[in-house]
Amino acid sequence: MTMLEDHSTAAPWPTAYPKGYAVVDVETTGLARDDRIISAAVYRLDHRGDVEDHWYTLVNPERDPGPVWIHGLTSDVLADAPLFPDIAAELSERLDGRVLVAHNAMFDWSMIAREYARAERTAPVRQRLCTIALSKELRLPLPNHKLESLAAHFGVVQQRAHHALDDARVLAEAFRPSLHAAARDGVRLPLLECRPLTEWSDSPPAPRAGYQPSYRGAGGASWRPSRKRPACPYPNPGRYEPGKLLRQGMRVAFSGDTSVDRELLEDRAVEAGLHIATSVSRLTSLLVTNDPDAATSKTVKAKAFGTPVVDEAAFTQLLRDVVAAEG
C-alpha cells in the first residue's frame, strides 16, 4: 500500500477542521503587484481531502505573458482566452465556502485577490492554508520546500511542472495524506485569514527595479489592501548571523526597490514568524535591500549600527527555512 492509498481513519475526524478545500494553482506573468493571472486551476476536495471535481482555464492577461520559458503560454495561445471578469463567477463558485489551499498560498491568494479587485469584485475566500506551513507543522523530512519535494515524499508523480492543472493535481494528491497525518496526530492546521482588497486607487504604484512595467487598464488603476499587521508573537532573538538561518521573532526591515512586490515579501516574512520593522534601530536583526550603497536613512543607520544586510534574492532563500522560536 502506498502512502496515497492509506485510508486509515482510526481516530475520529477533528470537528474543528474545515468542511471543504479548494486546492488552487495559478500561473502568472510575473510576481509583482501589477502582474496578471494567465491560467488557473482548482481541485475541490471534501473535508477528508477526497477529490470532488477539478476545473482549469486560460486567462487573457491583456499584456505580454511574461516568462514563457517557464509556463509555456504564449501571446498567441492566450489571445482568445477569456478575460478574468469572464471567469470570475465560475471561479467564485469553486472557491466559495472552502479553505484555499496552495503551495506558498500567500502568493496565489494575492494574485487572485488583485484580479478580483481589478474586476471590482470580492473573492469569496475567508481562510487559506499553505502546504509549506503544513509540512513544517508535520515536521516532514523534506530537503527543501519545493512542490516537487513534497510530491516526491508522498510518491506523487508530476507530469507537467508549471502547468496550473497538473500543479494543482499534484498538490491535491500530496495534501490529502498531509491532512490525514495532521488529523491522526492532532496537529492544528495552519489556517490564516484572507483579507480581500477593499480599496481602489487611481494612481499607479511607484516603479520598481528589476522588472518591466506591466499592462494597466484605462486610467492606470491600481489597488492596495486595507489592513493592520498583527504584532509578532515571538520575542526578538537578536541579530541575524551571516551564513546561518533566520529565526522566528527576528526584526527585518526593507529599503529601496524590490522585484517582488514589497507587501508580498513582507507577508511571506510575517507568515514565517518574522517581525516587520518600519525603521532600523539597534534592535533590528536584518536589513533587506538591493542597493546597500544607497544613502537612505535605513542603510545609513544599518552601517552605523552594524546591522547585517542581505539582498532580496538571499532573503527569499532564507525565508524557505526559518528556525522556530525557542519555546
Convert the pLDDT of each residue in 136-186 to its tens digit.
899 999 887 788 899 999 999 999 988 999 999 999 999 999 999 999 999
> Residue 211, Cβ neighbours under 10 Å: how many?
19
DSSP assignment of 150-213: HHHHTTPPPSSTT-HHHHHHHHHHHHHHHHHHHHHHTPPP-EEE-----EEESSPPPP-TTS--
Angle between helices 105-118 and 262-271 (to 10 degrees): 140
pLDDT for position 54: 98
* pLDDT at position 199: 53
Residue 288 in grid coordinates: 533587506
**pLDDT for the residue 313:** 79
Confidence of residue 11 (pLDDT cuts 50, 70, 90): low
How far is 302 from 286, CA to CA, in rounded Å? 9
State in Å, rounded, how far the first CA of the chain is from the last one. Answer: 38
Cell (9 digits) for 228: 493592520
Q: Tell me how crowded residue 159 is: count the other CB atoms within 10 A of its CB.
A: 9
> Does residue 14 have a pLDDT over 70?
yes
Among residues 38, 154, 40, 17, which one has the least CA distance to residue 98? 17
What cell was used for 196? 480581500
- Please answer whether residues 69 and 49 qualify as being in contact, where contact means their C-beta atoms are separated by less than 8 angstroms: no
Please say if the pLDDT value at position 216 is more than 50: no
Residue 69 predicted with pLDDT over 90:
no
Contact 61/38 with Cβ under 8 angstroms?
yes
* pLDDT band with cut points at 50, 70 and 90 for residue 82: very high
Beta bridge partners of 325: none
The residue that leads in pLDDT, 55 or 259, is: 55
Average pLDDT value over all residues in the chain: 85
What average pLDDT score do residues 78-103 get?
96
Distance CA 43, CA 173 (A): 10
Select the more confidently predicted residue: 92 or 107. 92
What is the average pLDDT across 220-227? 40
Any idea what DSSP says for residue 273?
T
Average pLDDT over residues 115-126: 92
Q: Among 33-47, 140-154, 260-274, where is mean pLDDT lowest?
A: 260-274
Cα–Cα distance measured from residue 50 to residue 45, given in angstroms and rounded to the nearest whole number: 5
Please name every residue paired with 56 in a beta bridge, in sequence order, or none if there are none: 41
228-256 pLDDT per residue, tens: 667 888 999 999 998 899 999 999 999 98
pTM above 0.85, yes or no: no
- Cell numbers at 164, concatenated: 496550473
